Amino acid sequence: MDLLEPTRYAFYLLFTGDPALWRIIFTSLYCSLAAIALIAPPAVALGFLIAIVSFPGRRALVVFSQALLSFPTVVVGLVIYMLLSRQGPLGFLKLLFTPEAIIIGYMVIAFPVLVVFTLSAVQGADPRVHETARSLGARRLRAAWTTLFEVRFGVMAAVVNSFGRVVSEVGCAIMVGGNIAGLTRNIPTAIALETSKGEFAQGIALGFVLIVLALGVNVALSVPQGEGGMK
Amino acid sequence: MSIVALELKSITKSFPQRELLRGVDLALQSSNSYVLTGDNGCGKTTLMRIVAGLEPASGGAMRFEGVAIDLRRYPETLRRMLVYVHQQPYLFHTSIAHNIAYGLKMRGVPKHQRELLVGEAIAWAGVGHLTDVLPHKLSGGEKQRVALARAKVLRPRLMLLDEPTANLDSDARRQTLALIETLRHEDVTVMIASHDREIIAMPHVERLHLEAGRVSAA
Ligand SMILES: Nc1ncnc2c1ncn2[C@@H]1O[C@H](COP(=O)(O)OP(=O)(O)OP(=O)(O)O)[C@@H](O)[C@H]1O
Ligand SMILES: [Mg+2]
């Protein structure tokens, strides 16, 4: 099979702004960013709380959250599909096969990633952070905020990681999104389902964009780390 | 006439396997300086942390400037009157100026006044040439001086300094000693836990010794 020709065509599609292609990229970005923006604040807050408040069953909750990290995303998709399907309890919302359904799925997938990464970042913080803040006159809540700010690179890593996970996720997006052209077709579902129909150039172009996105966010994360200072 | 800044009565601290403090009685006169000596692990750090509200005592009573303190519900107002400096101080990963401004911010000091005080404190600590250096890149001695500035800028009634010259090389130690020396002119009570002979020998410093869970004049 000739690889050169579809690759050349892939870049032609990308740089001439092929509307179908860019629509797919837009859908991916929109769903991923919206999901992370919605779920990150409560998930980070929860991870932080689990890290600093001790309560019965905390250990079990941590183990459970860690186990959720390897929960198959296609099963997340299956559950959300059943909830949103016409006969399902949330069927009246008519969200199945919409970008919003994908966003819900992404939120569910990103949630444990954000919680667990935040939790371990805060637990890894030097105990002197909190004590120093308290001794300098910070009240409890303010000292907690200072601690979270001290581990801001860990929290950013949580956000970047969860973004990387959802943006490249296939199973859930196919199940609840349905790969509808111009509506819910996103980068991974297009690659997975359209390539077999002979869309090699599009697949290559999208694969290229996905790699750039995944690498790009990690590079963007490492820049302030180098200057602003990890430990 | 001198007034009592800090008074401790029968402060105890026990761990399941061990009774560390067995009834510490102590009175620090306002604006005086004290050095607290004692073997490693005798409880100097623990005692200071109890006074600073960073650790609970097992029992005993405390008065600060004549006011009885409920050690089980350590008052926030007292936190703002005294400050504890760790043996190895932690500087926030921001900037030197931000570190020194932190406590002032917590006290609601307005920005322009804060900047003024921070500038003075930076000059006092002799770290003016380092303000562009990230705090965690500073040497141990520089960190200690920033931490002292961060504490002193708050004009606390009581400063608790935990082995401020330990683990410092001779130059850094000398600079830190010089800063501590200047505190005698300030209206602040100072308690220093230390094994440093030079601190122990400072003429204006009163010596306290912690041994077998009790404090006595040395
Ligand atoms: N949870 C605990 N259970 C039992 N012992 C403890 C516990 N926490 C601290 N200790 C003991 O209490 C002592 C703490 O002493 P502390 O750090 O106050 O001593 P110090 O006089 O400051 O010593 P140094 O000169 O080494 O700084 C140590 O011997 C430590 O082992
Ligand atoms: Mg100690």
Burial category of A76 from C-beta neighbours within 10 Å (exposed 0-12, middle 13-18, buried 19 and up): buried
Residue A10 lies inside a defined structural domain of this protein: no
Q: What is the pLDDT of residue A225?
A: 65
- Overall average pLDDT of the B176-197 stretch: 95
What global pTM score does this model have?
0.87
Structural domains counted in chain A: 1
CB B159 within 8 A of CB B83: yes
Residue A8 lies inside a defined structural domain of this protein: no
Cα(A53) to centroid(ligand 2), Å: 27
Q: HSE on the CB side for A222, CA within 13 Å?
A: 5
CB B80 within 8 A of CB B104: no
- Chain B interface test: which of A136, A141, A151, A153 (most B C-beta within 10 Å): A136
Least Cα distance to B86 among B150, B172, B161 occurs for B161
Evaluate: CB of B41 within 6 angstroms of ligand 1. yes
Q: Rounded to an integer, what distance in angstroms lies between the CA atom of residue B96 and that of residue B148?
A: 12
Q: Rounded to an integer, what distance in angstroms lies between the CA atom of residue B6 and that of residue B2?
A: 12
Least Cα distance to B147 among B78, B84, B81 occurs for B84
All residues of chain A having their beta carbon less than 8 Å from the beta carbon of residue B158 are none
Residue A43 lies inside a defined structural domain of this protein: yes
Local confidence band at B175 (pLDDT 50, 70, 90 cut-offs): very high
**Tokens encoding B126:** 């002799």
Q: Which residues of chain A have pLDDT under 70?
A: 1, 224-231
Residue A41 lies inside a defined structural domain of this protein: yes
Q: What is the pLDDT of residue A104?
A: 97
Q: Rounded to an integer, what distance in angstroms lies between the CA atom of residue A184 and that of residue A169?
A: 13
ipTM above 0.85, yes or no: yes
Helix (H), strand (E), coil (C) string for A194-227: HHHHCCHHHHHHHHHHHHHHHHHHHHHHHHHHHH
Judged by its nearest atom, the ligand closest to the C-alpha of residue B42 is: 1
- Overall average pLDDT of the B33-60 stretch: 96
Q: What is the pLDDT of residue A44?
A: 96
User: Mind listing the pLDDT tens digit for each residue in B79-91?
Assistant: 999 999 999 999 9
CATH of the domain at A177: 1.10.3720.10
Q: What is the pLDDT of residue A214?
A: 87
Question: Which residues of B have a CB under 8 Å from any CB of A?
Answer: 52-54, 76, 79-80, 83-86, 88-90, 92-93, 102-103, 106-107, 134, 136-137, 150-151, 154
Percentage of chain B exceeding pLDDT 70: 99
Judged by its nearest atom, the ligand closest to the C-alpha of residue B195 is: 1
In angstroms, the first-to-last Cα distance of chain A is 50
Q: What is the pLDDT of residue A230?
A: 43
Amino acid of residue A35:
A
- Overall average pLDDT of the B40-57 stretch: 96
Residue A202 lies inside a defined structural domain of this protein: yes
Q: What is the pLDDT of residue A59?
A: 92
Percentage of chain B exceeding pLDDT 90: 96
Task: Please say if the pLDDT value at position B122 is more than 90.
Answer: yes
User: Mind listing the pLDDT tens digit for each residue in A21-56?
Assistant: 999 999 999 999 999 999 999 999 999 999 988 899
What residue has token string 């562009």? Answer: B132
Residue A112 lies inside a defined structural domain of this protein: yes
Using alpha carbons only, give the angle B112, B116, B121 rounded to the nearest 5 degrees: 145
For residue B70, the distance in angstroms to the closest alpha carbon of chain A comes to: 17
Residue A143 lies inside a defined structural domain of this protein: yes
- Overall average pLDDT of the B29-58 stretch: 96
Q: What is the pLDDT of residue A219?
A: 87
Residue A11 lies inside a defined structural domain of this protein: no
Q: What is the pLDDT of residue A217?
A: 86
Residues measured by CB to lie within 5 Å of ligand 2, the ion? B 45
Q: Residue A122: give the domain boundaries.
A: 21-223
